[in-house]
C-alpha cells in the first residue's frame, strides 16, 4: 500500500516537468492574457485572481501557493497592489525560481511610467499605494511596454523561442497601435467624470479627460452620508459626464448619486474577462472606451 503510494507520488512528480512549455503564473487576469498574447502555445498560463474578485482583498489560498510551487515565471502587477497575498505566496511556494531577484520573478510595474508616487503617505490618508497608482492596466502605452517586458522574460527562460516571443509582441503592439487611433478618436478630451476609486488616472492621462472627484473620500475608505451630500452639491455645479465604477465596488453609492443628480453611471470592466466580450486586453479596452463614449 505504502509502496504504491510512493510510486504514485514519484510518477506524479516526474510527470510535471515532462512538458516543455514555460509555466507562467499570473496574479491578475490581464497579466495572464498578456502572457498568452506573447507566449501563445509555448506557455501554460495559470491566473490566480478571478476577474470577479477585488485584487486588493484576495486571500493567499493554498491553490495559489501550489501554483507558485510549479511556476517557471511568476508575474504580478506590483506597486503593492498584491501586498496582502503576494509575499505570502512567494514564501510559502518554496520555489527558489520565483523569488525576488531571480529571472522567474516578473514585476510588470517595472515597465510602467508610474504616476501619483507619494513621497509622504500615512494611513490617515486611506489605503494609499505610495509607490504610485497601481491600476495602469487601462493604459495602452504602458501595457505595450509590459508586453515587451514579458517577451524578454519568456525569451530568457526559453531562448530557443526568443524570436517567436518577439514577433508575437510586435504583432500585439501594432494591433494596439491600430486600435489606439480609434480610441483616441473617441473624443474623450475635456470630459469630466466622478470615479469610485483611483482606477482610471492612467486612462485620463492618455485621453485627456478629468476625474474631478471620488466617491471614496480616501482610497479604501467608504463615504459617509455627509460626504455624499457634499458630492451631490458639487455634481450639481460641475455637471460631470458620468460616474465611473467597476463591477467590484461602489455601485450602490454610484446609483444613489445618479438618482440624486441625473448623472449616468458607467460601469467599466475591472479587468479582462470581467464582462462579456472582454476576453483579451484589446477587446477589454475597446469595451472600456465604448462605455465611456456612450
Residues between 250 and 279 with contacts to another protein, criterion CB under 8 A: none
Shortest Cβ 277–another protein spacing (Å): 20
Shortest Cβ 41–another protein spacing (Å): 21
40-59 residues near another protein, rule: CB under 8 A:
50, 52-53, 57-59
CB nearer to another protein: pick between 71 and 265: 71
129-148 residues near another protein, rule: CB under 8 A:
130-131, 141, 144-145, 148
Residues listed for the chain: 294
CA atoms of 144 and 97, how far apart (whole Å)? 26
Strand partners, 249: 246
Quick check: 6 binds another protein (CB under 8 A)?
no
Quick check: 73 binds another protein (CB under 8 A)?
no
Quick check: 37 binds another protein (CB under 8 A)?
no
**One of 6, 99, 125, 163 touching another protein (CB under 8 A):** 99
* Backbone angles phi and psi of 48, in degrees to 5: -85, -45
CA atoms of 207 and 244, how far apart (whole Å)? 15
Number of residues this chain uses to bind another protein (CB under 8 A): 81
164-183 residues near another protein, rule: CB under 8 A:
170, 173-174, 176-177
**One of 44, 234, 260, 286 touching another protein (CB under 8 A):** 234
203-222 residues near another protein, rule: CB under 8 A:
204-205, 208, 210-213, 220-222
**One of 6, 7, 113, 290 touching another protein (CB under 8 A):** 113
**One of 44, 115, 162, 186 touching another protein (CB under 8 A):** 115
Stretch that binds another protein, among 35-43, 126-134, 260-268, 271-279 (CB under 8 A): 126-134
CB nearer to another protein: pick between 20 and 294: 20
Quick check: 32 binds another protein (CB under 8 A)?
no
Quick check: 233 binds another protein (CB under 8 A)?
yes
CB 215 within 8 A of CB 196: yes
Quick check: 125 binds another protein (CB under 8 A)?
no
CB nearer to another protein: pick between 257 and 294: 257
Q: What's the 3-state SS for 229-240? A: HHHHHHHHHHCC
Kindly state the helix (H) or strand (E) to which residue 5 belongs, with its residue range: helix 2-15
Shortest Cβ 238–another protein spacing (Å): 7
CB 150 within 8 A of CB 169: yes
Neighbours of 109 (CB within 10 A): 19
The stretches of 77-139 forming alpha helices (DSSP H) are 86-92
Sign for the pseudo-dihedral over CA of 77, 49, 162, 40: negative
Instruction: Identify the CA nearest to 147 among candidates 270, 21, 278, 39.
Output: 39
Query: In the structure grid, which three cell numbers stand for residue 261, read together?
Result: 443628480
Strand partners, 43: 22
Dmax of the chain from CA atoms? Answer: 77
Amino acid at each position: 500500500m505504502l509502496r504504491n503510494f510512493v510510486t504514485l507520488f514519484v510518477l506524479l512528480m516526474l510527470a510535471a516537468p515532462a512538458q516543455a512549455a514555460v509555466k507562467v503564473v499570473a496574479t491578475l487576469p490581464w497579466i495572464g492574457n498578456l502572457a498568452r498574447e506573447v507566449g501563445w502555445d509555448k506557455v501554460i498560463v495559470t491566473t490566480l485572481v478571478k476577474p470577479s474578485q477585488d485584487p486588493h482583498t484576495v486571500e493567499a489560498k493554498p491553490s495559489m501557493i501550489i501554483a507558485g510551487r510549479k511556476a517557471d515565471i511568476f508575474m504580478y502587477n506590483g506597486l503593492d497592489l498584491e501586498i496582502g497575498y503576494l509575499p505570502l505566496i512567494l514564501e510559502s511556494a518554496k520555489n527558489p525560481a520565483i523569488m525576488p531577484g531571480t529571472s522567474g520573478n516578473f514585476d510588470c510595474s517595472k515597465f510602467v511610467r508610474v504616476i501619483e508616487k507619494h513621497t509622504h503617505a500615512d494611513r490617515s490618508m486611506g489605503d494609499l499605494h505610495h509607490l504610485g497608482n497601481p491600476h495602469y492596466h487601462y493604459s495602452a502605452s504602458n501595457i505595450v511596454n509590459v508586453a515587451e517586458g514579458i517577451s524578454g522574460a519568456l525569451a530568457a527562460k526559453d531562448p530557443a523561442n526568443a524570436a517567436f516571443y518577439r514577433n508575437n509582441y510586435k504583432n500585439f503592439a501594432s494591433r494596439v497601435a491600430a486600435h489606439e487611433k480609434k480610441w483616441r478618436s473617441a473624443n474623450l478630451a475635456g470630459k469630466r467624470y466622478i470615479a469610485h476609486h483611483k482606477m482610471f488616472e492612467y486612462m485620463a492621462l492618455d485621453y485627456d479627460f478629468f476625474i474631478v472627484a471620488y466617491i471614496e473620500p480616501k482610497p479604501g475608505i467608504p463615504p459617509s452620508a455627509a460626504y455624499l451630500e457634499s458630492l451631490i452639491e458639487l455634481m450639481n455645479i460641475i455637471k460631470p459626464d458620468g460616474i465611473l465604477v467597476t463591477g467590484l465596488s461602489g455601485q450602490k453609492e454610484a446609483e444613489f448619486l445618479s438618482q440624486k443628480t441625473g448623472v449616468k453611471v458607467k460601469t467599466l470592466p475591472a479587468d479582462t474577462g470581467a464582462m462579456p466580450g472582454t476576453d483579451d486586453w484589446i477587446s477589454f479596452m475597446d469595451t472600456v472606451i465604448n462605455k465611456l463614449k456612450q
